[in-house]
Amino acid sequence: MRINIICMIYFNMQRCPVRKPRPFLNAVFIGGLLFATPALAVDPDFTLTIKDHRFEPTELQVPASKKIRLLVKNLDPTAEEFESHDLKREKVIPGKSETTFTIGPLKPGTYKFVGEFHESTAKGSLIAK
């Protein structure tokens, strides 16, 4: 019964044989689905900032045994490569942009990372507790 009602509305017909729907109704139907579904964007749990070729904060405490989302913002005009052998992550972040990583769950401990393009100044660690 519900399918027939949906077909009648969507196809604007009495019965629901296979028929090409109207473009306007397609747009209305798809638009309704988009607004009816919840947003999939998720706020990051933790944020690292790259400024003057340094990570801020240099030590970031995160919960152990839990998956986290880490946002890395590059405020410098030049690119930086976030690299961590401990976390098994490597990503170039262009200047004036950001990226998000999903990390974990991590065992308790310290996980080091560097900015490979400026290794002498861009250093930091995640501490899982």
Sorted by where each begins, the domain ranges of the chain are 2-36, 46-128
Residue scoring higher pLDDT (6 or 46): 46
7-57 pLDDT per residue, tens: 555 555 555 555 555 666 566 566 655 555 444 445 668 999 999 999 999
Q: How far apart are CA 19 and CA 11, in angstroms?
A: 8
Is 53:121 a contact under the CB 8 Å cutoff? yes
Is the pLDDT score of 5 beyond 80?
A: no
**Which residue, among 46, 50, 60, 65, has the nearest Cα to 104 in the 3D structure?**
65
Summary mean pLDDT of the chain:
82
Least confident segment among 6-10, 89-93, 105-109: 6-10
* Superfamily (CATH) of domain 46-128: Cupredoxins -  blue copper proteins (2.60.40.420)
